[in-house]
C-alpha cells in the first residue's frame, strides 16, 4: 500500500518566517510532522513564491512571498513535491518563480503546476514506488498568474486540456490525481459548477481530486470510487487580524493506494496561527466536532437541490458588493455612499443587458477580457 498526504495552502511568511529566522520554527510543526513522516509522498500547495524579488506583477489583491530559506520546512515535513498552480505563485513575476525553483532544487524538492511557458507549466508529474505508478496534474482557476503561451506562469484550468491530459496519463499509470486550486474564498461549499467539473475529471479517468484555495475546510464525496476533496483549507497561512476563525482550521488527507483497488483515505484536522504561531493537531473533542461539521457539509454536496439553494443564497449575499464594483464610482467614499443607497446607479438597465451578454457569451467574453485588460496595451 502506498500512502500520499495532501494539504492546502502553505505560505511560510509573517510569524512563521520570523520564527525560521530566529531558529525557533521546528516546535511550530512538531505535532503534525508525524502525519507527513508516515507517508510515502506528501504534496503541499506552495501558495507563494520563495523569493527576495521586489518586482510585483500588476494584479488585484495582495502580493505575498516568503524567505527562500524557509524551504527547509518542507524537508522537515517530508514534503518532496509542491503544487504551484495557484493565484499567488507569480506575484513577483518570472524572477520570483525562478528564484523559487532554484531554492526548491537546493532542497531536493520537486514541483508541478507552473513553469516558464505553458508547455512547462502544464507538464504532468510522474512518480513511482513499489511498481505502482502515479500521475499528478495541477491546475488553477484563471486569475493573474496563469499562462497560455511562452510567458512564465501557472497551469490554467481548461476542461479540454485537462481531459486530454488525464486520458494520456491514464495510459501509463495506475492512478491519476488532479490537484485544483479554485473555488470561492471563505465559502464552505463548492459551487454547482465546481461539483460538475470535479466529477468530470473523475469521469475522464482521475482516481482522486484534491482542491484548495478557499482558505477554509469544505466537504468531500466519493464519486465512482474516487474521493473528491473540494477544499482542504489552509495548512499554514498566517494572516494579520485572522485568528480563531474558519481560516485557522485545516484538514490533511492521507490517500492510500493499492493496485486494482479503490482509493481509501484518512483525515486529520488541525488549528494554525491563532494567538500562537504554528500548526497544531486538534484534540479529540475538537476533531470530533469538526468532522461532524464536515459531514453536514457533505450532505449538502450530495443533494443537488440543497447545493443550488445554498449557492443562490451565497450569490445573493454578494450582489451589493458586485453591483458596487461594476459602478464607475471610485475612491474611498463614493462606492460606500452608493452601496448604502445614497447615490444612484450610473448603469442603465440597457447597459446591464449589454454587460450580461458580453460576460455570459464565451465568444464575447474572450474579446471583452482582451479589450479591457489594462495590462494588455
d(CA 81, CA 8): 13
Q: Where in the chain is the domain with CATH 3.60.21.10?
A: 2-302
d(CA 53, CA 313): 41
How crowded is the C-beta side of 272, counted as CA atoms within 13 Å? 33
User: If you write DSSP's letter for every residue of 15-52 in order, what string do you get?
Assistant: HHHHHHHHT--GGGTTTTHHHHHTSSEEEEEE-S-B--
For residue range 46-77, list pLDDT tens digits in order. 999 999 999 999 888 899 999 999 999 999 99
pTM for this predicted structure: 0.93
Instruction: Assign a CATH topology to domain 2-302.
Output: Purple Acid Phosphatase; chain A, domain 2 (3.60.21)
Residue 82 contacts residue 117 (beta carbons within 8 Å): no
| Other C-beta atoms lying within 10 Å of the C-beta of residue 262 | 13
d(CA 164, CA 176): 12
- Cell reading at 77: 515535513
For residue 373, give every residue at least 6 positions away whose Cβ sits within 8 Å of its Cβ, in sequence order, or none: none
Q: Which residues of 2-15 are buried (b: 16+ CB within 10 A; e: fewer)?
A: bbbbbbbbbbbbbb
- Cell reading at 16: 512563521
pLDDT number for residue 377: 55
d(CA 280, CA 270): 5
d(CA 49, CA 90): 7
Query: How do the pLDDT tens digits run along the chain, 377 residues long?
Result: 999 999 999 999 999 999 999 999 999 999 999 999 999 999 999 999 999 999 999 888 899 999 999 999 999 999 999 999 999 999 999 999 999 999 999 999 999 999 999 999 999 999 999 999 999 999 999 888 999 999 999 999 999 999 999 999 999 999 999 999 999 999 999 999 999 999 999 999 999 999 999 999 999 999 999 999 999 999 999 999 999 999 999 999 999 999 999 999 999 999 999 999 999 999 999 999 999 999 999 999 999 999 999 999 998 888 888 778 788 888 888 888 888 888 888 888 888 888 888 888 777 787 777 777 776 65
Residue 65 contacts residue 56 (beta carbons within 8 Å): no
* 61 to 146, 185, 273: CA distances (angstroms): 15, 13, 21
Amino acid at each position: 500500500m502506498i500512502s500520499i498526504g495532501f494539504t492546502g495552502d502553505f505560505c511560510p511568511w509573517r510569524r512563521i518566517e520570523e520564527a525560521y529566522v530566529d531558529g525557533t520554527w521546528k516546535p511550530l510543526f512538531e505535532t503534525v510532522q508525524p502525519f507527513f513522516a508516515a507517508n510515502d509522498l506528501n504534496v503541499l500547495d506552495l501558495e507563494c513564491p520563495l523569493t527576495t524579488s521586489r518586482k510585483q506583477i500588476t494584479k488585484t489583491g495582495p502580493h505575498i512571498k516568503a524567505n527562500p530559506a524557509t524551504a527547509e520546512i518542507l524537508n522537515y515535513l517530508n514534503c518532496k513535491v509542491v503544487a504551484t498552480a495557484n493565484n499567488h505563485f507569480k506575484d513577483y513575476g518570472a524572477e520570483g518563480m525562478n528564484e523559487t525553483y532554484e531554492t526548491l532544487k537546493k532542497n531536493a524538492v520537486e514541483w508541478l503546476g507552473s513553469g516558464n511557458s505553458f508547455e512547462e507549466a502544464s507538464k504532468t508529474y510522474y512518480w513511482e514506488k513499489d511498481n505502482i505508478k502515479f500521475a499528478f496534474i495541477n491546475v488553477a482557476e484563471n486569475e493573474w498568474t496563469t499562462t497560455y503561451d511562452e510567458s512564465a506562469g501557472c497551469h490554467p484550468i481548461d476542461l479540454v486540456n485537462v481531459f486530454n491530459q488525464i486520458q494520456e496519463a491514464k495510459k501509463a499509470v495506475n492512478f491519476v490525481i488532479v490537484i485544483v486550486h479554485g473555488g470561492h474564498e471563505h465559502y464552505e461549499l463548492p459551487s454547482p459548477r465546481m461539483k460538475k467539473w470535479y466529477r468530470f475529471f473523475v469521469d475522464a479517468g482521475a482516481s482522486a481530486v484534491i482542491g484548495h484555495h478557499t482558505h477554509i475546510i469544505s466537504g468531500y464525496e466519493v464519486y465512482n470510487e474516487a474521493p473528491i476533496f473540494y477544499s482542504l483549507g489552509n495548512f499554514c497561512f498566517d494572516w494579520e487580524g485572522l485568528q480563531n476563525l474558519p481560516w485557522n482550521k485545516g484538514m490533511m488527507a492521507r490517500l492510500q493506494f493499492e493496485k486494482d483497488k479503490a482509493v481509501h483515505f484518512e483525515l486529520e484536522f488541525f488549528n494554525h496561527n491563532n494567538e500562537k504561531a504554528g500548526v497544531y493537531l486538534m484534540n479529540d473533542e475538537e476533531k470530533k466536532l469538526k468532522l461532524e461539521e464536515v459531514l453536514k457539509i457533505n450532505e449538502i454536496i450530495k443533494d443537488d437541490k440543497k447545493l443550488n439553494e445554498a449557492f443562490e443564497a451565497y450569490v445573493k449575499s454578494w450582489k451589493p458588493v458586485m453591483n458596487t464594483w461594476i459602478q464607475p464610482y471610485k475612491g474611498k467614499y463614493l462606492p460606500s455612499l452608493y452601496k448604502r443607497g445614497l447615490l444612484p446607479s450610473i448603469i442603465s438597465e440597457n447597459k446591464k443587458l449589454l454587460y450580461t451578454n458580453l460576460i455570459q457569451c464565451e465568444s464575447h467574453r474572450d474579446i471583452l477580457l482582451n479589450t479591457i485588460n489594462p495590462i494588455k496595451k
